[in-house]
């Protein structure tokens, strides 16, 4: 009987040991104990973006230095430019201190969401965040290369863009082969009056052009002067 009880006790002990949870280390990248964790979670929830995006951008932009200021003047954890900060602060009712961790993270998350909504993918979002939307749109419309810093930035942020980085950006459009059709045919005259209409377009105008002051109009009876006697 004693042997049987001992055997049962051993079996129960083994089962209990196997089923008890092991105290797991926090998974890499899950910063639940980080001083900014609550701010990141709130910002991600408010603007509907992954927390990982915010952590990744913060790490590359400032390395977690709340008082960081770049040579261009970008401020705080998410490196927001002063004019962008002023705009975001007013629209999202943020505080007056751009270095406040909560408000800076909120501003950065808001800006990431706006850039994603505007351009439609994570790589374009990050390029516009880093270089500015105006500079990114020059890349799209004119094929102007992005700054080297921005290309390196995208390569570092593969956690957000996937492993494709810079290659996932929308391709810049090729040069327009019909651009010559919209160019001026003749240069402007010395008096500043165009020699022809402003441009040649594929669309017809629904109003007749008005001759500029001083322009020579053809005779009412035709383009050619009649010969005498005819």
Catalytic residues: 61
Neighbour tally for 23: CB within 10 Å = 5
Here the tokens at position 101 are 């961790």
C-alpha–C-alpha distance, residues 225 and 223, integer Å: 7
Alpha-carbon gap, residue 1 to 72, rounded angstroms: 83
Q: Give the span between the Cα atoms of 140 and 161, in whole angstroms.
A: 18
Tokens standing for residue 191? 């008096």
Determine the length of the chain: 230
Looking from the CA of 45 toward its CB, the CA atoms found within 13 Å total 6
Q: Which residues of 120-137 are buried (b: 16+ CB within 10 A; e: fewer)?
A: eebbbbbbbbbbbbeebe
For 120, the 3-state DSSP assignment is coil
Look up tokens 């377009």; give the residue.
Answer: 201
């Amino acid at each position: 009987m004693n042997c049987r009880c001992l055997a049962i006790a051993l079996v129960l002990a083994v089962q209990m040991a196997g089923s008890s949870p092991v105290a797991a280390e926090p998974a890499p990248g899950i910063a639940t104990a980080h001083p900014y964790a609550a701010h990141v979670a709130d910002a991600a929830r408010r603007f509907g973006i992954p927390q990982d995006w915010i952590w990744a951008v913060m790490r590359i932009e400032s390395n977690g230095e709340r008082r960081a200021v770049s040579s261009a003047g970008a401020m705080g954890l998410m490196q927001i430019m002063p004019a962008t900060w002023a705009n975001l602060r007013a629209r999202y009712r943020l505080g007056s201190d751009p270095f406040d961790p909560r408000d800076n993270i909120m501003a950065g998350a808001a800006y990431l969401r706006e850039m994603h909504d505007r351009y439609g993918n994570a790589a374009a979002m990050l390029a516009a965040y880093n270089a500015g939307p105006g500079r990114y749109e020059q890349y799209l419309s004119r094929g102007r290369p992005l700054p080297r810093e921005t290309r390196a930035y995208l390569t570092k942020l593969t956690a957000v863009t996937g492993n494709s980085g810079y290659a996932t950006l929308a391709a810049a459009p090729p040069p327009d082969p019909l651009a010559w059709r919209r160019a001026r045919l003749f240069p402007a005259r010395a008096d500043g009056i165009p020699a022809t209409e402003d441009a040649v377009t594929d669309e017809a105008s629904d109003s007749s052009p008005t001759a500029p002051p001083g322009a020579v109009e053809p005779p009412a009876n035709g383009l050619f002067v009649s010969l005498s006697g005819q």
